[in-house]
Amino acid sequence: MKKTLLCCLLILTVIAAAGCSSDGSNNATGTTVSSATEATERPTGKSYIAKPNFIEDSDVDINNTESQGRFCYSQLSDKQKLYYEKLRTAVKQQRSGLYWNNRECTAQELDDLLNYITYDYPEYFWFSKENTGAETINGKLVFRVKFHYEYDADRVKELQGKLKTVTDKFLKEAKKLKTDYEKSLYTYEYIINNTKYNQKNATAGYNNFAEMESDRVLACWNITGALLNGDAVCRGYTQAYQYLMNLQGIECAYVVGNSHCWNLTKLDDEWYYTDVTWGDPFTEGTDPETGEVKYTEDGIDYSYLNMTTEQLLKIHKLDPSFKPKLPECTATKNSPVAIHSDNAEEQA
């Protein structure tokens, strides 16, 4: 559903007044998403592994340049980067798992690295880490890292083709933009204008695992829901924004909060927070028959685009279990308010 554009003047006081209510609803816009019911870890549906094709970590050929600029990867030591790349390459190849012979890396470190890969790579929409265990092979104790995939290889290839068609069209328009701010605004509006929030799917997997057999429900939790189906929950919104910004050469990270997630974006060498989900105007509650959120025509809320840390913490809580280090966001020059004020002064 196409939303109408609100004048940026209307948002001057929104962030200062915004707060987080006890049920997680958005006081600034009346958003009906409850932080008590939506989680950032997607529920598990089918596990597609065509055949056991575990690989030894020593046999993994890695590309040390592919992850340059990824937020979590950039915070790792040289050794950790090597481990990260071995795991990531196995995931990219859709291996069923990895036998890890290097005992310098603990099971907890492996688990953390798998989390970092899911944070850094929204394009690996088929991947959801499963478990790490130890077993003896030929008398040697090794870690067995088993991967969980939401789609089989043929379906992944099909969806990748559809994503390329959509993103090629998106990038054709995005290339006309000159500034980082213009790119962030265009991406924010693009996702909101083409995506509906699905409250029912936000909790489907927790209430009824059978519902997770549906491709469309699974898609709500990754980039295919927002970019192909126009239907997503917060994780889908956030990963779609991250993916499209990365395609434009802008560093954008995925951040986990208290039953919610949002983005951290580097614009003109300064960091900003963005919550695309809360920028989407869904304010009339949930249809009791369909479970879909009913929309108004109030327009996009720009107060959640390019926020400071201070502004973010007025409406959200960070998840203490989220281990990547987050910068203090203090810059305001790429906020809609600042941009609008500068444009008004130039026209005066």
pLDDT tens-digit series, residues 7-44? 333 333 333 333 333 233 343 333 333 333 455 555 55
Helix, strand, or coil (residue 285): coil
Give the up-direction half-sphere exposure of residue 167: CA atoms within 13 A in the CB hemisphere.
19
Split at pLDDT 50, 70, 90, the class of 61 is: confident
Q: Give the orientation angle of helix 153-174 with respect to helix 180-194, to 10 degrees.
A: 130
At residue 95, what is the residue type? R
Q: In the predicted model, what is the mean pLDDT of the chain?
A: 78
Tokens for 169, please give them: 């069209």
Count of structural domains within the chain: 2
pLDDT higher than 80, residue 237 = yes
% residues pLDDT > 90 (the chain)? 47
pLDDT of residue 96: 82
Paired with 318 in beta bridges are 257
Helix, strand, or coil (residue 312): helix
Does 49 reside within a domain? no
Residue-number span of the structural domain to which 95 is assigned: 55-149
Split at pLDDT 50, 70, 90, the class of 344 is: very low
pLDDT of residue 310: 95
Residues 111 and 187 in one domain: no
Residues 40 and 64 in one domain: no
Last-in-domain residue among 123, 149, 175: 149
Alpha-carbon distance 114 to 210, whole Å? 26
Range with the largest mean pLDDT of 41-50, 57-66, 285-294: 57-66
Residues 177 and 317 in one domain: yes
CB atoms within 10 A of CB 69: 15
Residues 234 and 266 in one domain: yes
CATH code assigned at 205: 3.10.620
3-state secondary structure 40-76: CCCCCCCCCCCCCCCEEHHHCCCCCCCCCCCCCHHHC
Last-in-domain residue among 89, 124, 149: 149
Helix, strand, or coil (residue 97): strand
- Distance between the two ends of the chain, CA-based, in angstroms? 35
